[in-house]
Structures are given as C-alpha cells and as structure tokens.
Amino acid sequence: MNKILLSILILLFINNCSFNKNSNLWSSNDKDYPLENKKNIKKVFDQKKNITTELNEKLKINLKDIKFNNDIVDNKNNYGSFDYQGLFLKNNKYKFSKLINTNELNFKPIFLDEGIIFFEKKGNIIKYNNNKKHSWKKNFYSKVEKKMQPKLHFAIKNDTLLVADNIAKYYSININDGKLNWSKNNRYPFNSEIKIFKDKFFVVDYKNTLRCYNISDGLECWNLQTENSFTVSNSKHSIILVNGMVIFNNSIGDITAADIKTGSIIWQLPTQNSNVVNEAYSFKTSKLVSDGNSIFFSNNKNEFYSIDAKTGTLNWVNKINSNLTPIIINDFIFTVTNNGYLFTVQKKTGNIIRINDLYKDYKTKEKIDIKTIGFSIGLAKMYLTNNNGKLIVIDLISGNILDIKKISRKIISKPFIFNKNLYIIENGSIIQYN
C-alpha cells in the first residue's frame, strides 16, 4: 500500500513540475536565456561565417621586385618565392612502400644536392641518389615498434640527420652511410617539426612540451611545458627561431616565446578561449611564419593573426579560415582558405586587397568535397594541391588560374620546390617535375 501511495505522489510531482511550462520549477522560460548564457551548456565549436565572395578579383598585384629563395630550410618558415620555371615535365619517381593508417601526407623529405631522404612503412629510412636508387636503407625499430607504423620528422645539420617520431623515439644518423649515432626515448610522442640552432635542436611533444636536446648525444638541455588539452591534437605543432627566441604553438592555440639558451618564457599569447581545450582534435592551425619583426599564422576558426615577434602583442587579426602555411612576398601575404579562396593581404595593416575563388568552375556538389592541402610559390605562380589529387597553377599577379593538372588518384602532399624542380608526395612515391 505504501509503495502505491509513493508512486502516485511521484507521478503527481512530475506532472505538475517537470513538464509544465508554467511551473515554478524553472525561474523563467528558455526564451529569456539563450544557449550561450546557460552555465551548464557550452558550444563545442563556435562556427563563424567564412568569406565566400570574391573581392577586387581583377586587381593586379605588383610583384616586379620579387626575390627568389633557394633555401629548403628556414628557421623562420619564411620561404617566399622559389626559382621554378614551371615547365612541369615529369622526370621520375622516388618509390617507397606505402604508409599505412594515414589520411594525409604532412611530411617533408630532406632534399640534398645529391638526392632525397624519406621514410616508408615500419620506419625504414631511405637515402636516394639522383638516379632514384637507394644509397642506403636503414631501420632502427624493434618488431613491436615496427607494428606501430612510426611516422617520422626530419632535420639535418652537416652530416647529421635528426629524427623524431610519433611513438616517442628520437635519434641521430650519419647521412653518408646511414649508421646510427645515438637513440633515445621521450615519455610522450612528438608532434612537430624539428628546428636546429647551433649545437641544439628543438621539438614539441603531444603534451604541449617544448624540448631542447643536444645534437651530439641527445641529452635534454631543458624543457618548457605549456597547458595541455584533454584530447590528442590532429594538427602538427610549429616552431620558429627568431632573434634569440624559440617560438612555438600548442594544441590549444597558445603562442609561446622562450629564451633559446635557457628555456625561460619571454612572452605568451593565448589566442583561444578555454573551450578549445576540449576541441583540440578538430582545432587546426597553420605553421608559424616570421619576417623577423612579426609572426603570421591562421587557423580553421576563421582567424588570421599578425603579432609582434619581440613582445607577443597583437598587430592585427582578420577573418580568414585557413590552416595552410601563409607565404610572404615583399609587402604581401598570400594564403588560401580551406574552401579554395585565394587571399592577398597587406602585411603591415592586415587589409584584404583581393580575393579570388579558385573553385568557381567546379559544380556546387564538387566544391563540398574538395579541400586544399598546401601550396608553394615559384616565379610569381602559386602551385596549390587539393585532396582530389589535382594541382592548380595560379598567376599571383592577376589571380587567374593558368592550369589544372591531375597528379594522382591517391592522397597527395603539398608541393615542394628545390633546385628548380617541383616535388609532390603520393602514398608510395615522390614525384619530381622539372
């Protein structure tokens, strides 16, 4: 009997409170409290409107005094325009075993005057000569480690090849014969490019910790930990070296500058709110790029930043939705949004002076699936790769599309230019064009 009475009372309470919009259980209607004001509800990803229209699309840009770069390594990631004629004659392929469990080819080979160094599945490292043959092929992983399909990041100084991977291993190789100099392990996998300064090198791991190591023996000199996220980032961290500072980003959008000798923080700039800690997997940023005075970068949250390299203060911010690495040429910055809009921006002011729709000839349904991968610039021409295996050649002066070339049916990398040749990685080979 008591159970029956209790059940009746519970039903009456629910009927008069929880499902009655006039009930006093809530202090006011939901209409009075928009979603963003509710303390117990957070937006997982605040979508901002992207620019989807052209601007001054017929404006011609003056690039007469353009200076060409022939360096494939730059500690400021400021590569500018390379000397590439764009004949686009396929020379040959450097073949390797296909990488497994990868949705993108966000890896950079080591380009040498006498060949190329890259890796393949199970962590094999290959040095090719200019005849596309193996000079040597080495593997420094155990059976267990090989099954983890390590992905490798390279840097080179003189005859030393430095390697850091996504299974927490880092080591040094002699590039002449492929012999191991030393090998060590970190507590956490690495997730960044490698930068070298004198006898030290720098790399960031998945815990958002910048680590400084000796090139000679791999011993750690110092480390600097920044705030960690709750999820593993899907974006590779970036490092630049500017005016005695090592500057890097982490998975939650913080930009940190540290003294290159001691690792002590000089300045730090948070660019995102606290919610991004939970969004790290979907949050993607471009590489950091610097002209020595300012640092430029963008992200997939519709933000393009210029910050002062010395103080970390904001110069300007603009609404550009891109996680591709921007390129600086003279007083202009060029970048391409994730949905295919070419932006020309004034470096000092951040003013957008031209926008060109590079996908305007595609049908609406096709545009939905096409995503940009990366680009390089040679002789005032931009070479942009997309996830449909095609490469678009753009005249930067006019913004017009000059050609569209089918590269592969597989996933491809951004284009690289070295020694007046253009290289694109597909899964299984590095394609060289003269």
Quick check: is 138 in a domain?
no
Lowest-confidence segment of 200-214, 219-233, 239-253, 260-274 by average pLDDT: 219-233
Q: Is residue 144 assigned to a domain?
A: no
Lowest mean pLDDT segment, chosen from 87-91, 155-159, 374-378: 87-91
257 falls within a domain? no
How far apart are the C-alpha atoms of 385 and 373, rounded to whole Å? 5
From the list 434, 398, 392, 381, the residue with the least C-alpha distance to 414 is 392
**pTM to 2 decimals?**
0.86
Mean pLDDT of 344-356: 97
SS3 state of residue 38 = coil
If you count DSSP H runs as helices and E runs as strands, how many of each does the chain have, helices first? 3, 34
Residue 103 lies in a domain: yes
56-103 pLDDT per residue, tens:
999 999 998 888 887 788 999 999 999 898 878 877 899 999 998 888
Q: What's the gap between Cα 43 and its chain centre?
A: 24
Q: Is residue 177 part of a domain?
A: no
The DSSP-derived string for 121-169 is: GGG-EEEEETTS-EEEEE----HHHHHT---EEEEEETTEEEEEETTSE
Q: Is residue 32 part of a domain?
A: no
Distance from C-alpha of 114 to C-alpha of 130, rounded to nearest angstrom: 6
pLDDT of residue 67: 81
Residue 72 lies in a domain: yes
Domain that holds residue 390: 62-108+362-434
Burial class (CB in 10 A: 0-12, 13-18, 19+), 84: buried
**Residue 385 belongs to a domain:** yes
Positive or negative, the Cα torsion across 4, 8, 9, 14? positive
How many domains would you assign to the chain? 1
Supply the pLDDT for residue 280.
58
